[in-house]
Amino acid sequence: MSEKTYEYDFAEHLDDAEAVEIFLEDAFATNDVPHIAKALGVVAKSRGMTDIAEKTGLSREQLYKSLSGNGNPTLKTLLAVLSAMNFSITPRRNSA
């Protein structure tokens, strides 16, 4: 007898700015482009992909494609999406 599993939807639980910030910090810490792209897609979904598309001037289809595990968003797309979600990239010095 096998145990039934369900796919977990992180987007349903990213309901405040602090949760989103922690989620994205963890994703960026991996330095794994597909993982980061997918995490951005999850956050965009939690904020409403149609709204993000309107704010960025990009199509929903383009966002879904770029912000997937197979996506590789351009820097322009990355900055537009982060700005639409009221986030930015801030350089930080390594403590080492």
Q: Tens of pLDDT along 3-12?
A: 888 888 888 8
How many structural domains comprise the chain? 1
The answer to whether residue 5 sits within a structural domain is no
Is 49's pLDDT higher than 80?
Answer: yes
The answer to whether residue 25 sits within a structural domain is yes
Mean pLDDT of the chain, nearest integer: 90
The answer to whether residue 65 sits within a structural domain is yes
The answer to whether residue 73 sits within a structural domain is yes
Q: How confident is the model at residue 90 (pLDDT cuts 50, 70, 90)?
A: confident
- CA 45 to CA 38: how far, in whole Å? 10
The answer to whether residue 36 sits within a structural domain is yes
Instruction: Report CA 6 to chain centroid distance, whole Å.
Output: 21
Q: How confident is the model at residue 96 (pLDDT cuts 50, 70, 90)?
A: low
| Encoded tokens for 83 | 């700005």
Is 88's pLDDT higher than 70?
Answer: yes
User: In 3D, which of 53, 35, 36, 42 has the Cα closest to residue 19?
Assistant: 42
User: In 3D, which of 66, 10, 57, 4 has the Cα closest to residue 34?
Assistant: 66
| Encoded tokens for 89 | 């990239």
Contact 73, 40 (CB under 8 A): yes
The answer to whether residue 96 sits within a structural domain is no
The answer to whether residue 23 sits within a structural domain is yes
Domain interval for residue 58: 15-84
Is 92's pLDDT higher than 80?
Answer: no
- CA 19 to CA 67: how far, in whole Å? 19
The answer to whether residue 90 sits within a structural domain is no
